[in-house]
Structure 1
């Protein structure tokens, strides 16, 4: 935009203040000429209004009323052209403008108003061209940064510097984040929470929310229809059209890098799957030779094998789900080792992972990050106006890239009506998190203790059986025998509060699955019995009609005196 100070400097003596002093840098939206007594119906605010003085009426009262109308409309400045009606500036007009804080400028006799208009639009054109050139230069620099080995940190840093704020990239799979400047790392816990919510919703549009009283915008980085990560931005100033173009360029660059990484990862996954299958089938030396030939590097000497139930064979999504399962006995879980493992494959409804024991060393707990109030370069926000409290997030879908131009029309609530052909938000979240639409986890998993790589094949059958029988939502071990696992099933049934599942299962097994006889023993309707048995099987993640399961569970019940 063009300021009044820039326009006055461009025109020199052809546009100066009525009262000596420095011309303010107020921004102008345009230059308008009118001799109407009330031109406000044709003004939008922010203009430099030019007049020869006809609307002033020759009296102090008329001049004062005229100035009040302009000030109420938000006119930036009034320009009085001398020579046609007035030879000097009326003192009453100077006083009225001072009272309404409306800047009063003078166009000397003999200077056409057209010169002022032309100067304004010349400046506006040059300003836009300068922004475009600067934007193109920044985009070129970002594209070059994207070609470097450390592309992600370089691109994030370049974007943050271009916008005068901070920027962060958060992978959708929960991997390590990238943020610049690094001093803004205290924002990451809040960004992770918001990103996880958007990822569960499967939101494919940008969203805005408030963080510590300041606006933040997040963009999904898409490869096809899958979200690879989120780009979060906090701008330290009002953004321009060129800034928005830079942001879109960064989103495209990050999507291209993600697609390249996916292609490389896909090739590596195929090779890693072949190596892992050789290990599980007992061909360890062949696996070592193949790994060396295809560049997978030396294989770990000790591993923990993990297997989890999967419906679609998507090992990447399965790794995220398993990382969030409750680990048996409260032991440390696999954590990031799942995402790091290249030795994985899917087979017969199970996903298998071979985890290097060196990657399973629990990391030291980080010091809690606290927001010190000094990371963000601006103040104010909704707190000052009684809006959203600091530290809360109200995501809003919008079509503009940054807070200065955002159109926050409503909270993101993805439904089948919002996006035809896509599952509802709860259903989509369930698919991605391994849960049903009510949030109950479906996936169960099991893992072995640390074993030499050469002994991994001997653990495969036990691991497979344990994974198929693992309770939904839990990661169990295989070190215990079947009786120990059955004892845990009994504890789970006894802990269920809404119905007597333990008695129902005991009676069902005692009657060897006969519904009528079992219902008669329990004095309940057979449909109520069917419901209780179905709840018990979902709770345990097993089928009571499986002879092995039924035998061990029955013996565990007998040990409890049932």
Structure 2
């Protein structure tokens, strides 16, 4: 017969996710203090006195292991085992493996004594074995212990509901995460923090050294007392709320309070995210209008941006950052473009890194995230630092870009990189559309020339800058076809190989020996190829103007897709 103080399907706030059982009960040590157990003796397993009793059961059959449940106190007279006392050590092992709290035995009628092997096994496992007094009935034990458990659960429920009402009232009165952790820390008399999914501290209260320990991720040390509950809303993990104090400061009853606090914190986080999403879209839409020249006059733009904390009434530069390893999209288009969850998460991390870096170096900077790029408008001093390949010096934009790259690289989820383009200084808001186009061209040309992770200034692009300013791509394509002829296509591998030979020849200023060394050709083989190239293209070894045209055509091909 199994006795439990409540149905298995209890309130979610009172259930352990791992076992599905009620989390509140009485430690074995407290059960031994019940009046009906006066005279009971603990004969083994003292290390397990902290095990929690949540239900009671009476052993009536030898194969009781099939019927027991975790956190039970099992009572027996030994009748089912009267003929096989040698099986008692195995019984202890089986009960412990099934998570029982303790075994209480009444001797005299069916068992004269408990075997030493049984007691030794109980001590080894820390499984309490209790000898019951002869003058107490099982029904008295069941009634009193179950009543004590119910009273404990009722008290915990009452306290939890009181805390829940207090926390909800905080939110209804406009309070946020800080007010929630202040209240919980006061109730539990320990430190409490809320961490986001990136383990950044959103709010904290309590002793400074404990808050710092949780911030640094040391709250899970075995010698420290702590509880952690996920903050989940809408199926998304928003972080953790953690209570942390000296060993023994937190008990199982405090779990429910922390779960209620996590529920209320999830509501606050969800509300904050909804508000932030609306505000972010509003800011992004306005900056998109500024960058496209649709936002009105400079005075209106400056006044409107001041409400966002942006200072555009000064010389600024536009910066565009794009994730690498993704099919390109037109800048500022804004559509989601079928991005998956991982791509959206990476874009959000990129925006967060740029926002944090910009605030540190330029509090008046504007940073917004479009669908496939992050755009920042930061202070411009005319500096042109950087080599276009990622190593850069000087200028606020370069400093922000370096720190954003460092912050983005710290995230453990994936090894993504991003490329950055920086415009010329713009004297005011009216020049921002042109600056934005320059930054967008710089990021794409820089990636094409230097690979993923490039950081390029528009003025560093050299001839590519001039080519990128040609408004009609068809003219560039026609120039390539007219200049390179059959070498302009990619269909025939032999012609593609000849084009590569031409490129190296031009790079070495027609140094045949150096070109042969780079391409691993025999000198005579290269001479043969040069003759073939001149039959296709003309006497470029003698005509400097033709060499210039060929060089430009190859540069245009290198910019393909930009």
Distance (Å, rounded) in 1 between the aligned partners of 2:67 and 2:461: 85
Partner of 1:106: 132
Distance (Å, rounded) in 2 between the aligned partners of 1:291 and 1:479: 28
Residue 467 (structure 1) aligned with residue 440 (structure 2): yes
Partner of 1:476: 456
Question: Relative to 1, partners in 2 of residues 1:261 and 1:249: Cα closer, same or farther, differing over 3 Å?
Answer: same
Question: Relative to 1, partners in 2 of residues 1:311 and 1:268: Cα closer, same or farther, differing over 3 Å?
Answer: closer
Partner of 1:306: 318
Distance (Å, rounded) in 2 between the aligned partners of 1:297 and 1:342: 8
Question: Relative to 1, partners in 2 of residues 1:335 and 1:527: Cα closer, same or farther, differing over 3 Å?
Answer: farther
What is the deviation of 1:284?
1.9
Partner of 2:40: 16
Distance (Å, rounded) in 2 between the aligned partners of 1:275 and 1:100: 77
- Out of 178, 188, 193, the residue aligned to residue 153 of structure 1 is 178
Question: Relative to 1, partners in 2 of residues 1:20 and 1:44: Cα closer, same or farther, differing over 3 Å?
Answer: closer
- Out of 234, 239, 249, the residue aligned to residue 231 of structure 1 is 239
SS in 2 for 1:512: helix
Distance (Å, rounded) in 2 between the aligned partners of 1:155 and 1:300: 37
Kept after mapping to 1: 8 A contact 2:362/2:396: no
Distance (Å, rounded) in 1 between the aligned partners of 2:295 and 2:190: 53
Distance (Å, rounded) in 2 between the aligned partners of 1:356 and 1:166: 39
The number of aligned residues is: 411
Kept after mapping to 1: 8 A contact 2:358/2:367: no
Partner of 1:253: 268
What is the deviation of 1:33?
1.6
In the TM superposition, what whole-angstrom CA distance separates every residue of 1:133-190 from its partner, at most 9, and x where no partner exists? 3333333444455467772334456667869676443477x9x753646656577688
Kept after mapping to 2: 8 A contact 1:18/1:105: yes
Partner of 1:69: 91
- Out of 473, 482, 492, the residue aligned to residue 512 of structure 1 is 482
Partner of 1:54: 79
Distance (Å, rounded) in 2 between the aligned partners of 1:321 and 1:554: 35
Partner of 1:6: 30
Distance (Å, rounded) in 1 between the aligned partners of 2:484 and 2:194: 60
Partner of 1:135: 160
More moved, 117-126 vs 10-19: 10-19
SS in 1 for 2:422: strand
CA RMSD of aligned residues (A): 6.0
Kept after mapping to 1: 8 A contact 2:318/2:439: no
SS in 1 for 2:494: coil
What TM-score, normalized by structure 2, do the two folds share? 0.53
Question: Relative to 1, partners in 2 of residues 1:218 and 1:304: Cα closer, same or farther, differing over 3 Å?
Answer: farther
Kept after mapping to 1: 8 A contact 2:351/2:369: no
Kept after mapping to 1: 8 A contact 2:241/2:258: no
Kept after mapping to 2: 8 A contact 1:171/1:177: no
SS in 2 for 1:50: strand
What is the deviation of 1:468?
2.9
Where relative contact order (Cα < 8 A, 6+ residues apart) is larger, the structure is 1
Partner of 1:554: 552
Partner of 2:11: none
What TM-score, normalized by structure 1, do the two folds share? 0.53
**Rg (Cα) greater in structure:** 2
Kept after mapping to 2: 8 A contact 1:466/1:478: yes
Question: Relative to 1, partners in 2 of residues 1:553 and 1:146: Cα closer, same or farther, differing over 3 Å?
Answer: farther
- Structure 1 residue runs of 5 or longer lacking an equivalent are 192-209, 326-331, 367-392, 396-428, 434-438, 489-505, 534-549
Distance (Å, rounded) in 2 between the aligned partners of 1:14 and 1:138: 36
Question: Relative to 1, partners in 2 of residues 1:160 and 1:356: Cα closer, same or farther, differing over 3 Å?
Answer: farther
Distance (Å, rounded) in 1 between the aligned partners of 2:499 and 2:182: 62
SS in 2 for 1:445: strand
Partner of 1:445: 421
In the TM superposition, what whole-angstrom CA distance separates every residue of 1:406-433 from its partner, at most 9, and x where no partner exists? xxxxxxxxxxxxxxxxxxxxxxx9xxx9
What is the deviation of 1:357?
6.1
What is the deviation of 1:446?
2.9
Distance (Å, rounded) in 2 between the aligned partners of 1:320 and 1:95: 62
Kept after mapping to 1: 8 A contact 2:302/2:312: no
Partner of 1:263: 278
SS in 2 for 1:302: coil
What is the deviation of 1:39?
3.3
Kept after mapping to 1: 8 A contact 2:458/2:465: no
Question: Relative to 1, partners in 2 of residues 1:507 and 1:155: Cα closer, same or farther, differing over 3 Å?
Answer: same
What is the deviation of 1:255?
0.9
- Structure 2 residue runs of 5 or longer lacking an equivalent are 1-24, 123-127, 245-249, 321-329, 337-343, 382-394, 404-410, 448-452, 469-475, 504-547, 557-562
Distance (Å, rounded) in 2 between the aligned partners of 1:351 and 1:67: 67
Question: Relative to 1, partners in 2 of residues 1:137 and 1:253: Cα closer, same or farther, differing over 3 Å?
Answer: farther
Kept after mapping to 1: 8 A contact 2:195/2:202: yes
Distance (Å, rounded) in 1 between the aligned partners of 2:157 and 2:377: 52
Residue 284 (structure 1) aligned with residue 298 (structure 2): yes
Question: Relative to 1, partners in 2 of residues 1:115 and 1:159: Cα closer, same or farther, differing over 3 Å?
Answer: same
Residue 355 (structure 1) aligned with residue 399 (structure 2): no
What is the deviation of 1:515?
5.7
What is the deviation of 1:55?
4.2
In the TM superposition, what whole-angstrom CA distance separates every residue of 1:487-545 from its partner, at most 9, and x where no partner exists? 99xxxxxxxxxxxxxxxxx9996653656244699972569979x99xxxxxxxxxxxx
Kept after mapping to 2: 8 A contact 1:217/1:234: yes
Kept after mapping to 2: 8 A contact 1:276/1:345: no
Distance (Å, rounded) in 2 between the aligned partners of 1:238 and 1:10: 20
